[in-house]
Amino acid sequence: MTHAEPQYDSLFRLITERLYWFAIGPMLLIMMLLGVINDEPERRVGYSLAYLVALALMPLSRWLDFRSGQALTGKGEPATWDHFRNYAIGSVAIGIAVLLVVNAGVFYFSAS
Count Cβ neighbours within 10 Å for each residue of 85-96 and write b for 16 or more, e otherwise: eebbeebeeebe
Structural domain total, the chain: 1
Exposed/middle/buried for residue 45 (C-beta within 10 Å: 0-12, 13-18, 19+)? exposed
- Is 1 part of a structural domain of the chain? no
Tell me, yes or no, whether 94 lies in a domain.
yes
Q: Does residue 27 lie in a domain region? A: yes
Q: Supply the range of the domain harboring residue 20.
A: 11-111
Does any domain span residue 54? yes
Q: What is the pLDDT along the chain (112 residues), one digit of tens a residue?
A: 455 566 667 888 888 888 899 899 999 999 999 999 998 888 999 999 999 999 999 999 999 989 888 888 888 899 999 999 999 999 999 999 999 999 999 999 988 7
- The verdict on residue 68 lying in a domain is yes
Residues 6+ apart with CB under 8 A from 57: 20, 25
Residue 15: predicted pLDDT: 81
